[in-house]
Structure 1
Amino acid sequence: MKEKNSVEFTDIGRVIWRFRQHFILTAIVAGVLGLVVAFLLPVYYQSTATIYPAAISYVESTDLVYRRGNVNELGDTEQAEQILEMFSSQDFKNKIIGKAGLFEHYNIDPDGKEARFKIHQKYRELIQAERNRYNAVKISVQDREPAKAAEIVNLIIDELDRFRNQIISRRIRTHYRTIEKSKDSLQHAMAVWTDSLLTLQEQGVVSQEERAALLESLGNVRGNSAEIKRRIDANIRYGAQYDIVERHVESVQGQITTMNKIRTQLQTNLSPDASQQFIFEHGHVADKKHAPKRLYVVLGAIGFSLIVLLFYLYIRVNWLALRQRLES
């Protein structure tokens, strides 16, 4: 097997040496043609931007809804993937296509046949986004006009933030309505328990600490202590009930305080000025072309031409031997 391979490589070497002038001439011609093609290809400039998502996610529990994360913190992989999903959605693409005027810019008739297919194909070719290992989302736009590339990438940044804000706001409004209903229910319960507490207080019932002091004062009272005895009897009779009502009042008050904090938090995030991302790099107008790489075009043309020529000459020189191998 090794001898057979060595013979085949020797045959290839002989073909190359025998037709070396053809290979040299082909390389020169292919290089010139590749250079011509490289200069005829359209030149594209690239503008890039880098954003980080804000760490915002809303979690539902059995009693209330609260936010996990802080708008001032960088998001994790989940938030970065959410941005990429929004970027890839048809609704978002159509919004960018419309606002950037890409039908006209790419010379595609919006009423023509397969117009949507063509514009989205062009969009996928020239507008891309990816997540790096630090959970940053890098957006890149290629265009023949450097200013247009920067305009599109900055438009995408703004629209991504607005698009994500709209999606999150819809969910926040649902939570906000739930919070309002829960708060109304708690306030009604608070009014009922407070009325019960006031009724007991009017009868002279006091808290546990005050009750202990009242019982202690009974032995130190001189003269008429009927009022104190009445209050003590009321506390002995209704003291346990007072403690239960007081605990309910404190519990409901704590829940209302929590609801108010959540309500304030949701109102803040419903603000249209609340950003859902951190912009680390805006798109800038490029002063150097991104593609094509003319050297790669020339080298590719030369390499492809030499491989085709080698294949043709090897088949021509060794055709009889190859035919015998195939027939045997």
Structure 2
Amino acid sequence: MSSRSYSLLGLWPVIHRWRNLVLTAVLLALVVSAVVAWLLPNIYRSTAIFYPTNPETTDPDRIVKEGGRLQLGGRAEDLDRIITIGQSQPVAQLIVKRFNLYERYDVGQPGTEKADQAVLDEYNNNLTIVHNDRDAIELTFQDKDKIQAANIANALVQIIDSTNQRLTLENRGSIITLYQNQTQFLEKQYAQVRDSLQQARRRYGIFGSLSTANETGYESRYLAKELAETETELRRAEGELAAGGGSVARVAGLRRAVRGLTETAGGNVINLESYVAGADLVTTLYARFEDIQRRLITARATYEDARLAISGKISSIYIVQKAYPAIRKAKPVRSLIVISSVLITFVLSVIFITLLELYRGNLNLGGIGKP
């Protein structure tokens, strides 16, 4: 036996027989879908487009010290980080609180589990963050109010930027404190060593620099010169006195001068005994003073650079397009709703009456097609 072929045109008699029911169903679907489509609120979408920047190029320390430049990221990890931040719950809670979405979405009072979950679900349904084919981030938010949709989208971009900045600046506060403590410690050490050096110089009469082994200092040159000249004069005076032509008073005066140059008890501020006793101490203190002074200057510069760096906020994203209020609605497409409702109702009606005819036995499948 040859197989039978079937044609939908064979259903026309059935449709014609049930035309009143089909027409009623189609008209009812038309009216109901038109009313529903008319009552549906207009939904507007606003989209912001931006590129993430490389976090290393937005490091304030690098910019201040090395003169770096901002570079667009486009790396997979940068894109994933931005999308993750945008979809995170802390960001959602900030937006919900800032724009009072509990009242806007009419989900109840905040603080209850049902209301909190409902507002987050509605928020997430209205938010879309995607990575487009040009390595940019497209952030889209939809709302019944086109101005509100644009405001929320722009606020989301700002919050994402701030959160992304904190990833590179979260430890800067503690680092600033460390720099400050280091500077204060060096300032105290600097003051202590400076005072000790001044006291040692006054005590031992050493006021010049003795920072290296090759330097003899002003005092050593003065002592050598004065001591040599005074001793020469003393020997000459003693010779003259021995020959019967000198003065006893002159010899005594020169001996006292030599004693003043060589002994601390002689009364001279600069003397050989004090110089020998204090040279090593002053040399050590002066070397320590120079070292702390150099470290203090470096620490102050580092602290000031760090304060300047952390006080300046450098955007971690490059905004290509801000979110603007939409010109036309995104949905609903009312004509599509009406047409699809009518078509679906017609198809379902045909299926229903066909099954009903088969059940009653009034429809001969063999008579629909041709053998």
User: Shared fold by TM > 0.5?
Assistant: yes
* Cα pair distance change 1:49/1:2, threshold 3 Å: farther
In 1, the alpha carbon distance for the partners of 2:308 and 2:81 equals: 22
1:41 counterpart residue number? 40
1:306 counterpart residue number? 346
The alignment partner of 1:114 has SS state of: helix
State the TM-score, normalized to the length of structure 1. Answer: 0.61
Deviating more after overlay: 310-319 vs 102-111 = 102-111
Whether the 8 Å contact between 2:55 and 2:168 is mirrored in structure 1 is no
* Cα pair distance change 1:315/1:165, threshold 3 Å: same
1:100 counterpart residue number? 99
Matches within 5 A, 1:23-172: 23-57=22-56, 72-76=70-74, 77-107=76-106, 108-170=108-170
* Cα pair distance change 1:2/1:271, threshold 3 Å: farther
Whether the 8 Å contact between 1:41 and 1:292 is mirrored in structure 2 is yes
Structure 2 unmatched ranges of 5 or more: 184-210, 216-297, 366-371
Whether the 8 Å contact between 1:46 and 1:141 is mirrored in structure 2 is yes
Whether the 8 Å contact between 1:54 and 1:71 is mirrored in structure 2 is no
When Rg is computed on C-alpha atoms for both structures, the one with the higher figure is 2
Q: 1:152 corresponds to which letter in structure 2?
A: I
* Cα pair distance change 1:199/1:141, threshold 3 Å: same
The alignment partner of 1:51 has SS state of: strand
The alignment partner of 2:315 has SS state of: coil
Q: Deviations over 1:248-278 (max 9, x none)?
A: xxxxxxxxx9xx99x96x8776444210001
In 2, the alpha carbon distance for the partners of 1:114 and 1:307 equals: 40
Whether the 8 Å contact between 1:268 and 1:274 is mirrored in structure 2 is no
In the TM superposition, residue 137 of structure 1 has moved relative to its aligned partner by: 1.2
In the TM superposition, residue 110 of structure 1 has moved relative to its aligned partner by: 0.7
In 2, the alpha carbon distance for the partners of 1:318 and 1:106 equals: 49
The alignment partner of 1:156 has SS state of: helix
In the TM superposition, residue 117 of structure 1 has moved relative to its aligned partner by: 0.6
In 2, the alpha carbon distance for the partners of 1:132 and 1:163 equals: 22
State the TM-score, normalized to the length of structure 2. Answer: 0.55
In the TM superposition, residue 320 of structure 1 has moved relative to its aligned partner by: 5.5
Structure 1 unmatched ranges of 5 or more: 59-64, 185-197, 203-256
In the TM superposition, residue 122 of structure 1 has moved relative to its aligned partner by: 0.9
The alignment partner of 1:79 has SS state of: helix
2:225 counterpart residue number? none
Question: How many residues were matched structurally?
Answer: 241
In the TM superposition, residue 170 of structure 1 has moved relative to its aligned partner by: 1.8
Q: 2:26 corresponds to which letter in structure 1?
A: A
The alignment partner of 1:129 has SS state of: strand
* Cα pair distance change 1:117/1:34, threshold 3 Å: same
Q: Deviations over 1:294-320 (max 9, x none)?
A: 112112211221122122111101126
In 2, the alpha carbon distance for the partners of 1:46 and 1:17 equals: 46
1:251 counterpart residue number? none
In 2, the alpha carbon distance for the partners of 1:117 and 1:283 equals: 27
Q: Deviations over 1:70-127 (max 9, x none)?
A: 7622211321211110011111111111122212222231134511111101101212
1:275 counterpart residue number? 315
* Cα pair distance change 1:293/1:272, threshold 3 Å: farther
* Cα pair distance change 1:56/1:267, threshold 3 Å: farther
Q: 1:53 corresponds to which letter in structure 2?
A: P
Whether the 8 Å contact between 1:84 and 1:130 is mirrored in structure 2 is yes
Q: Deviations over 1:22-72 (max 9, x none)?
A: 4444333322221111011122222221111112249xxxxxx989xx762
